[in-house]
Structure 1
């Protein structure tokens, strides 16, 4: 099959997923963006705490509405596909990107079950003028327990000069790297459509509060250390 340009895939996928738009959060400073988006997201968690406890799947909706407009999931999906996209049709790649987005929503929602109105500390801003990718850290301070460390990997779009997150590093483990390792062998053996279907099934799983905290959450989203 013909190789598909990333530009064409991005355009088609953006049209397909055009129901989600970013709000007025600035995307010109990665540190400011992550701080503002995180605060908006965590504030909503706090406001809807009782509803979330009763129905944890509400976290998926919050992640979809508050976080995903700032996530460059198309870039992440195509990094996972790597050279395997050369053997897939445009439609197959678009379906994979959409399925990967839904999978990310479920994974991020599961990670955020670790948040229970704890104090949030943001990593101090660094000079990023010459950087194309930066890591923005967020610590969830959990009383006498060690902090829960999250890092958003953020990439600059050189055409728009806007920054978007494309990876979540939880407790030192990259979700994107873990998915690349997990899916590459399956892509090699079974192709893009089967992996797309697998991601669709994984994205349907219910969000649950784990009894053993972050260790169980890491296992649930497939980034067990």
Structure 2
């Protein structure tokens, strides 16, 4: 679990950007890579096939379902979001990830606030990574690295290396643990940037400035709609 850490103050310009999909070239590449990393199937570790083989098949299945339909999916984002929800969300321990990104605020949140945050957070991820997958190009490649760990391990790191559309090799890792007999993703990193740590810093800054309820309301207004 990532440790709490002091974070530099976030400027008003950055705060405004936090509630919309990042559009700078660096962040666009980060979204592409993280979106691809979430396609790596945690269940592969419990399957007889080598995890890198099943991962490759799973990724190809998702990308094939988008082949020739990117313009259509851009015009009909709800269809894209439904695809992402069906294929990616089951691989993620959304409740535990929500707990990690809220940090201390999760412990003081009411049951209703936890449920509402989790739903809004999930909708945010569906939109963010769905849009990231739309920009995936054929020249981008994924190399799956062998899983290291004991056969009976219940918390492991799955590593891969993605070659992005600029030819750069980007290391990706996924933190996974066993939940009710199935492997689930609860964190990931692109290079040295942790998914959970990144979002925790953003959310905690907004909670300090306006409170948890304000954060949830803004996320619901932005992501719990059909648009």
TM bucket by the smaller chain? 0.5 to 0.7
CA drift of 1:79 comes to 0.4
- 2:160 equivalent to 1:137: yes
Q: In structure 2, the residue corresponding to 1:27 is in which secondary structure?
A: helix
Quote the residue 1:183 is aligned against: 203
- 2:156 equivalent to 1:106: no
Quote the residue 2:22 is aligned against: none
List gaps (5 residues or longer) in structure 1: 1-24, 208-225
List gaps (5 residues or longer) in structure 2: 1-40
User: 1:10-67 CA distances to partner (integer Å, 9 max, x unpaired)?
Assistant: xxxxxxxxxxxxxxx7715184564443222212121533423544554322211111
CA drift of 1:109 comes to 1.5
2:73 aligned residue (52, 55, 64): 52
Q: When the two structures are superposed, what TM-score results if normalisation uses the length of structure 1?
A: 0.65
Could you tell me how far apart the structure 2 residues matched to 1:188 and 1:100 are?
Answer: 18
Matches for 1:204-215 after TM superposition, within 5 Å? none
Q: What number of residue pairs does the alignment pair up?
A: 180
Quote the residue 2:17 is aligned against: none
User: 1:113-171 CA distances to partner (integer Å, 9 max, x unpaired)?
Assistant: 330334532322222324613133252553xx2247473523112652x2112234346
CA drift of 1:192 comes to 2.3
User: How has the CA–CA distance of structure 1 residues 148 and 77 changed in structure 2, closer, same or farther, with 3 Å as cutoff?
Assistant: farther
Q: When the two structures are superposed, what TM-score results if normalisation uses the length of structure 2?
A: 0.65
User: How has the CA–CA distance of structure 1 residues 67 and 80 changed in structure 2, closer, same or farther, with 3 Å as cutoff?
Assistant: same
2:213 aligned residue (193, 216, 225): 193
Q: What value does the CA root-mean-square deviation take over the aligned residues? A: 3.1
CA drift of 1:100 comes to 0.9
Could you tell me how far apart the structure 1 residues matched to 2:42 and 2:199 are?
Answer: 29
